Structure 1
Amino acid sequence: MGDTFTEITRVSWFTRIKNSVIGVLLGLVLIAGMVFLLFWNEGRAVQTARSLTEGAGAVVTVTPDRVDPANDGRLIHVTGPVSTTSRPSDPTFGISVDGVRLVRTVEMYQWKESSKSETTNKVGGGQETVTTYSYSKEWSESPNNSAGFKVPQGHDNPPMEIRSERFQVPDARLGAFTLSERVISGLGGEKTLALTTDMTAAIDAAYSGNKRVTVAENRIYLGFSSTNPAIGDYRISYQVAPLGVASVIGEQRDGGFAPYQTIAGDQLLMVDDGAVPAAKMFADAQSANVVLTWILRVVGLVLLAIGFGMLLAPLGVAADVLPPLGSLLRMGTGIVAMLLAVVVGFVTVAVAWFWYRPVLSLIVLAIAAVLAAGLIYVGRSRAKAAPATAQPA
């Protein structure tokens, strides 16, 4: 059996019309959802910014060597060495190291299905799609379900019995302060754990499976050959979050840190690797808030455009009786969908700002009004130009 398979499917014009009408309903739902997302995002951004500003004005930096009961309930900033009484360990392979967290990454050698489709519109509104499925072997951390392949025969993947996993110490301290699981999880700085051939015997003794164990290139290989893997073989690597200096901002409670409830609405519990001043931690958090706000704005606008595109899709499908006409109309509806997304998105953001930030909302509403006026002007100009071009010379 070859590693490619080609399938041809045909859809009638009436079926496409029906599907596009269903798409209209989904488009309406998507538009409503994105309007809500954009509105909510502006409120979230304002609340987070105000909470961080409030926290920056209330935080107190204290030394790590002593927990002062007088600071209970206050927002504190502490920088100091992290220590533990235990080591993160992976019992499956007998790996144990100094640190706060051991991360095991497991990949299995398996079949992967890829597909490529080419769709052609036919005279009469029908559509023909030629899909080519191809199969290749790859290392993958996620199991590929071969039962769902278009051609499962000859491309069987075994169950993935060993998965990626994180092993974290149950407790740790920052100087005299106790660190909760949530704070420990915030510690990063993972570094690749060096695996050597000297570890092979210990790893082999801990491993209870029936595959051959070898160590090469900082990885554990389960299989006959690390250079010529077979389907179902594994390769495993590790990263470790080492002990070191960390900085934490949170409410002092019970000798440790808890989320600090701000008047603005957010809870503050911030963790950073290294000796980071409180001012920088808050500045970084403000920057991250701005980045997240813009990401959600862009996502909202893109999905709004998709929603309006689904709303206008029946026009293009109806015109596909003559494929060139359908392509031309679809190009036009695509432009209209993008313009509608920009206008609706700007208006939504403006209304949200009027609710949360009244002054800035007036600026955004003015921009939306200019865009709308521009659309009307362009439309009227084209309407006036059309009769003139139709007159004979």
Structure 2
Amino acid sequence: MAKKIKIVIYIIVVIFSVFLVAKAIKQESGANPEVLDKVVILNEAKVLPENEGKLVLVSGKLKASEVFKDNTFGLELDTFRVNKIVEMYQYKEGNDEVGFEWKEKVEKKSIISGSGGIYRNPEKSMSSINKCDKAYLGEFTVSEKLTQRINNNEKVELPEIEGFKRKGEYLTNSKWGPSVGDIRIKMSYVNLEKLGDISILAKQVGDGFEEYKLDTGAYAFNVYQTKISNKEELAKALEQDSKNMAGGMIFIIIVLIIIGIILFRTNIKNLIDKIKNKTSK
């Protein structure tokens, strides 16, 4: 009985998911003409009082609010986000005996092997993300809500320092082969110079940006990693957004359906096994 209830609940979840996807795609496709009708395209990244509360499209180059400094490696980077990946060589659970792996987080402080041995992982400070709360686009202040959408990470060539040598893309303190507790480091950042012009589509609020609610119920709030100068270019960008969203949602539905098929086949197999057991008795 419990299995039947689970199947019914799963079917309801799939149907509801399909409904939400269809609704979102309809909203998105209906939103594009409204965006093109209402948007004010700014020739310069200037805050104009007459655009307050309006949907605007502004393009230009981002500037960080401060220079990122790392005294350990003697770095100064003109960026608003730096990802510092620190991995530690540590014990991991295996089938019989413990294994080893490089990982950012300590999954387990203590691991018991199949033979009963106890292995302890050291605790060390690990990865970090350093970011500015804001950046600037001309006279506009760009919040983290928008900058976090920019995916343009570039590897930082870290200089070798005392105790750390380069191995591949990492700096590591491993001398010969890795030992538990050894660490390796790599770093990436958003290179503002290589990023070039971006375009922001959002509601102008003061000298910043907020989500613009459309009549369809959808929201216009996005950053494009290219310069968009006119409505024709914006129409192409919006169309691509719709395709990306539809593709992602269809993928989720397919995954749900596959999981449902697996569960259904498992339940059918269990039912057949029960019938066989009863008939054999």
Same fold, judged at TM 0.5 (above): yes
Deviations 1:70-125 (A, max 9, x none): 1122211111011123023457876542111101112111233355xxxxxxxxxx
Distance in structure 1 (CA, Å) of the matches to 2:72 and 2:102 = 21
1:179 aligns with 2:135: no
- How far off its partner does 1:173 sit? 0.6
Gaps of 5+ in 1: 1-20, 116-132, 202-212, 326-393
- How far off its partner does 1:281 sit? 2.4
Distance in structure 2 (CA, Å) of the matches to 1:85 and 1:152 = 56
TM-score, normalising length: structure 2: 0.83
Among 218, 235, 240, the alignment partner of 1:284 is: 240
Distance in structure 2 (CA, Å) of the matches to 1:252 and 1:68 = 9
- How far off its partner does 1:148 sit? 5.9
The residue that corresponds to 2:216 in the other structure is 264
Alignment check: 8 A CA contact 2:14 2:253 kept: no
Distance in structure 2 (CA, Å) of the matches to 1:112 and 1:320 = 42
Paired residues for 1:1-393 under 5 Å: 22-89=2-69, 95-115=75-95, 133=96, 135-145=98-108, 147=110, 151=114, 153-154=116-117, 156-197=119-160, 200=161, 213-216=163-166, 217-221=168-172, 223-225=173-175, 227-243=176-192, 244-276=196-228, 277-319=233-275, 321=277
Distance 1:177 1:224, change over 3 A: same
Distance in structure 2 (CA, Å) of the matches to 1:100 and 1:72 = 26
- How far off its partner does 1:189 sit? 0.7
Q: Which structure dedicates a bigger proportion of its chain to strand?
A: 2
Distance in structure 2 (CA, Å) of the matches to 1:89 and 1:261 = 39
Residue 249 of structure 2 aligns to a residue in which SS? helix
Distance in structure 2 (CA, Å) of the matches to 1:309 and 1:285 = 36
Alignment check: 8 A CA contact 2:57 2:200 kept: yes
Deviations 1:143-194 (A, max 9, x none): 3326465638556241442232211112211112111121121222110011
Q: Which runs of 4+ in 1 moved over 6 A?
A: 91-94
- How far off its partner does 1:23 sit? 3.9
* Matched residue type, 1:238: M
CA-based RMSD of the aligned residues comes to: 2.8
Identical pairs, percent? 23
Distance 1:312 1:279, change over 3 A: same
Distance in structure 2 (CA, Å) of the matches to 1:93 and 1:250 = 38
Alignment check: 8 A CA contact 1:30 1:307 kept: no
* Matched residue type, 1:308: F
- How far off its partner does 1:22 sit? 4.7
Q: Which structure dedicates a bigger proportion of its chain to helix?
A: 1
Alignment check: 8 A CA contact 2:55 2:201 kept: yes
Alignment check: 8 A CA contact 1:41 1:296 kept: no
Distance in structure 2 (CA, Å) of the matches to 1:32 and 1:148 = 41
Gaps of 5+ in 2: none
Residue correspondences, number: 271
Alignment check: 8 A CA contact 1:246 1:272 kept: yes
Alignment check: 8 A CA contact 1:67 1:177 kept: yes
TM-score, normalising length: structure 1: 0.61
Distance in structure 2 (CA, Å) of the matches to 1:30 and 1:146 = 37
